[in-house]
Amino acid sequence: MTLYTSRQIGLNGRHGGMIAPVIAVGGCDLHGPQSALSPAGVGAEQISSLFWWMAGGAVLIWAVVIGIALYATLARPRKKHDVQGARWLIIGGGIVFPTVVLTILLSYGLMLIPKLRSTGNVDLHVAVSGEMWWWRVRYTSPAGEPVELANEIRLPVGKRVSLSLTSPDVIHSFWVPSLSGKVDMIPGRENTLILEPTKPGTYRGVCAEYCGASHAFMAFRVVVMEPQDFEAWLTHQAQPAVSSGSPSARQGEQAFLVNGCGACHTIRGTAADGRVGPDLTHVGSRLSLGAGMLPNDAQTFARWIGHTQQIKPEVRMPSFGMLPEEQLTALATYLSGLK
């Protein structure tokens, strides 16, 4: 499956903000970045083995039932079966067998829960808040300072991570199928999800609870890294923004502050300290833009800033298409350069 769905975006507002998503669906790709069947975390491994056992059992039961049906209708046994035997077949196959199987499955499922949910031995705490329609992510830096990031989660491989999940607006649900099951983010409540990634790689997470117009565009990447790479990454993310300082980037920084972007966005190290939208301090280093919607390059920055409303229905950021082309380009250069 391709990470970025290819979609044509009506670039002139005349199409009434219509977007025509041409989504390249990868069919049944078991090894995609968002597949519960190619697990890369302890939770997902247990879920997928449970799935395969249940699928196998279901196929077996189906075959037996269909086999008996075919026997009864096609084979037409010459000798009638006696009523007593048939009754025991019904009691055995229709009551005892399913009860035993369901009891085993239920006990197995219940047995998994305490270990999966235990908050003991946690190496890392991350707070994630689902907001219409993006993800606010809070780490604690190696120096003990809170670091706010957005729309991307990086985790050290082999470590147990506790995510505290909240929402300030409506119910969302946090789901990274490759790593674990999903947990709802409920306003006024703090839910916990334990992740234990086992394979380095880049996975896709989504909101799994309908939350409004752009629910389907509320995704994020999870990058599982070697622990020392993770430390380096987090240390870097904790730093203030570093701009390239080129004339265009400097013009972009000016445009950012002058046009009021800073009322909603923070760029650490500048005067912009808004808290409404995602932190943009290192936005250029992320793998995607607009909560998993667009690839991250200067071109898509310009498109996002100029056509926000057309790209993402009802998004809580105004389009800045009225800005002169040159300012949009400068903003794009500046922001994409914030690595």
Identity of the residue, 54 or 264, whose beta carbon is nearer to ligand HEC in the bound complex: 264
Contact, 180 vs 41, CB < 8 A?
yes
Q: Which residue has the tokens 């507002």?
A: 13
Q: Strand, helix or coil at 248?
A: helix
321-327-328 Cα angle (round to 5): 50
90 contact partners, CB below 8 Å, separation of at least 6: none
Under the binding rule (CB under 6 A), the answer on residue 151 touching ligand HEC is: yes
Find the distance separating the first CA and the last CA of the chain, reported in whole Å.
27
Question: Using CA atoms, how far apart are residues 156 and 158, in angstroms rounded to an integer?
Answer: 6
Applying CB under 6 A, the span of 159-167, 185-193, 196-204, 271-279 interacting with ligand HEC comes to 271-279
Applying CB under 8 A, the span of 26-34, 108-116, 141-149, 242-250 interacting with another protein comes to 108-116
Identity of the residue, 123 or 297, whose beta carbon is nearer to ligand HEC in the bound complex: 297
Q: For 239, phi and psi rounded to 5 degrees?
A: -75, 155
Query: What DSSP state is assigned to residue 271?
Result: S
Applying CB under 5 A, the span of 154-162, 194-202, 211-219, 302-310 interacting with Cu ion comes to 211-219
Contact, 32 vs 39, CB < 8 A?
no
SS (H, E, C) 48-70: HHHHHHHHHHHHHHHHHHHHHHH
Interface residue with another protein among 13, 71, 92, 107 (CB under 8 A) is: 107
Q: Which does 261 bind (CB under 5 to 8 A by kind): ligand HEC, Cu ion, another protein, none?
A: ligand HEC
x-marked contacts with ligand HEC along 30-69 as a string, rule CB under 6 A = ----------------------------------------
20 contact partners, CB below 8 Å, separation of at least 6: 7, 8, 10
Q: Which residue has the tokens 């019904």?
A: 90
Under the binding rule (CB under 6 A), the answer on residue 256 touching ligand HEC is: yes
x-marked contacts with Cu ion along 150-179 as a string, rule CB under 5 A = ----------------------x-------
Interface residue with another protein among 106, 213, 242, 258 (CB under 8 A) is: 106
Under the binding rule (CB under 8 A), the answer on residue 82 touching another protein is: no
Positions touching another protein (CB under 8 A) are 95, 99, 102-103, 106-107, 110-111, 113-114, 117-119, 192
Positions touching Cu ion (CB under 5 A) are 172, 207, 211, 215, 218
